[in-house]
Amino acid sequence: REQRGTVYGMTASATFLGNSLGPMTGGGLAAAVNIRFVFVVTTLVLLATWVWVFLTVPEYTESRGLEPPPRFGRR
Protein backbone atom coordinates (compact mmCIF):
# COMPACT_ATOMS: atom_id res chain seq x y z
CA ARG A 1 0.00 0.00 0.00
CA GLU A 2 2.86 2.37 0.67
CA GLN A 3 3.98 2.20 -2.96
CA ARG A 4 0.56 2.55 -4.55
CA GLY A 5 1.05 6.18 -5.58
CA THR A 6 4.43 5.41 -7.10
CA VAL A 7 3.03 2.48 -9.06
CA TYR A 8 0.10 4.55 -10.34
CA GLY A 9 2.47 7.33 -11.38
CA MET A 10 4.77 4.92 -13.22
CA THR A 11 1.81 3.30 -14.97
CA ALA A 12 0.41 6.66 -16.07
CA SER A 13 3.84 7.80 -17.28
CA ALA A 14 4.41 4.59 -19.25
CA THR A 15 0.96 4.87 -20.82
CA PHE A 16 1.55 8.49 -21.81
CA LEU A 17 5.00 7.76 -23.25
CA GLY A 18 3.72 4.75 -25.17
CA ASN A 19 0.79 6.68 -26.62
CA SER A 20 2.96 9.60 -27.67
CA LEU A 21 6.16 7.84 -28.81
CA GLY A 22 4.67 4.61 -30.18
CA PRO A 23 3.09 5.95 -33.38
CA MET A 24 6.13 8.07 -34.16
CA THR A 25 8.52 5.16 -33.61
CA GLY A 26 6.33 2.74 -35.55
CA GLY A 27 5.99 5.17 -38.43
CA GLY A 28 9.73 5.72 -38.52
CA LEU A 29 10.40 1.98 -38.56
CA ALA A 30 7.80 1.44 -41.28
CA ALA A 31 9.34 4.18 -43.41
CA ALA A 32 12.90 2.96 -42.85
CA VAL A 33 12.33 -0.79 -43.25
CA ASN A 34 8.74 -1.88 -43.96
CA ILE A 35 5.42 -2.25 -42.19
CA ARG A 36 5.90 -5.96 -41.44
CA PHE A 37 9.03 -5.18 -39.46
CA VAL A 38 6.95 -3.01 -37.11
CA PHE A 39 4.70 -5.97 -36.31
CA VAL A 40 7.69 -8.27 -35.77
CA VAL A 41 9.27 -5.80 -33.35
CA THR A 42 5.96 -5.33 -31.52
CA THR A 43 5.52 -9.09 -31.18
CA LEU A 44 9.04 -9.53 -29.82
CA VAL A 45 8.58 -6.72 -27.29
CA LEU A 46 5.26 -8.18 -26.12
CA LEU A 47 6.73 -11.68 -25.77
CA ALA A 48 9.74 -10.36 -23.84
CA THR A 49 7.45 -8.38 -21.55
CA TRP A 50 5.22 -11.42 -20.95
CA VAL A 51 8.23 -13.57 -20.04
CA TRP A 52 9.59 -10.86 -17.73
CA VAL A 53 6.25 -10.46 -15.94
CA PHE A 54 5.76 -14.23 -15.70
CA LEU A 55 9.19 -14.69 -14.10
CA THR A 56 9.34 -11.66 -11.81
CA VAL A 57 5.84 -10.80 -10.59
CA PRO A 58 4.76 -13.00 -7.68
CA GLU A 59 1.32 -14.56 -7.68
CA TYR A 60 -1.10 -12.76 -5.39
CA THR A 61 -2.33 -15.37 -2.91
CA GLU A 62 -3.48 -13.32 0.07
CA SER A 63 -6.97 -14.33 1.11
CA ARG A 64 -9.46 -11.78 2.38
CA GLY A 65 -11.63 -14.38 4.05
CA LEU A 66 -14.26 -14.37 1.33
CA GLU A 67 -15.85 -17.53 0.03
CA PRO A 68 -15.37 -18.30 -3.65
CA PRO A 69 -18.37 -17.56 -5.88
CA PRO A 70 -20.72 -20.47 -6.59
CA ARG A 71 -20.16 -22.41 -9.79
CA PHE A 72 -22.89 -22.96 -12.31
CA GLY A 73 -24.62 -26.33 -12.06
CA ARG A 74 -23.30 -27.21 -8.59
CA ARG A 75 -25.24 -26.99 -5.38
**pLDDT at 75 > cutoff 60:** no
Please give the tally of structural domains in the chain.
1
Residue 64 lies in a domain: no
Residue 50 lies in a domain: yes
- Give residue 59's pLDDT: 80
CB 29 within 8 A of CB 38: yes
Residue 14 lies in a domain: yes
- Give residue 29's pLDDT: 92
Q: What is the pLDDT of residues 1-28, one digit of tens each?
A: 788 899 999 999 999 999 999 999 999 9
Residue 73 lies in a domain: no
Residue 68 lies in a domain: no
Residue 23 lies in a domain: yes
- Give residue 43's pLDDT: 96
**pLDDT at 74 > cutoff 80:** no
Q: What is the pLDDT of residues 37-56, one digit of tens each?
A: 999 999 999 999 999 999 99
Q: Give the residue among 45, 26, 42 at the shortest CA–CA distance from 34.
A: 26
Query: What is the span of the domain harbouring residue 22?
Result: 4-56
Identify the three-state secondary structure at position 52. helix
Show the CA angle centred on residue 18, arms to residues 53 and 28, nearest 5°: 120
Enumerate helices (H) and strands (E) in the chain, giving the number of each: 2, 0
